[in-house]
Amino acid sequence: MPRRRCPRRSETGWRQDVLDETVAALDAADFRIYVHAIGNPGFYPEDNVLDAFEYAAQRNARRDSRHAITHLDWTRREDLARFRELGRRRGAIASQQRHGLAGMP
């Protein structure tokens, strides 16, 4: 599956390769990972985090990890589908801030 890229990825605090490897290593050590990801309309950092969760899922043994993205402000519909699919395979939680829901059509 090709990895999707956020058009404004340079605004995140982590390089994607470092985030991928860090999440995969913590996941392999059985940590439950929480990532803080506040965005805004047009910038969706959950895209980066979901990429890292998917990377860890492909690299490590299957388990109920239930990693979470916290303070999720803005979410695209296609990312909701990614949460759902990743949740079926390994567990993924979107801890969304309430005002972010107002921006969805």
φ and ψ at 75, to 5 degrees? -135, 135
Token representation of residue 17: 């390769």
**How much is the pTM?**
0.75
Query: Per-residue pLDDT tens for 27-70?
Result: 999 999 999 887 766 777 788 899 999 999 899 977 788 888 88
Q: Which residue has the higher pLDDT, 42 or 85?
A: 85
Of 62, 94, 63, 64, give the one whose Cα is nearest residue 81: 94
pLDDT reported for residue 9: 46
What are the structure tokens assigned to 5, written together?
């890229």
DSSP per residue, 2-16:
PPP--TTGGGSSS-H
Per-residue pLDDT at 63: 76
Average pLDDT, the chain: 78
- Tokens, residue 20: 């991928």
Cα(33)–Cα(66) distance, rounded to whole angstroms?
8
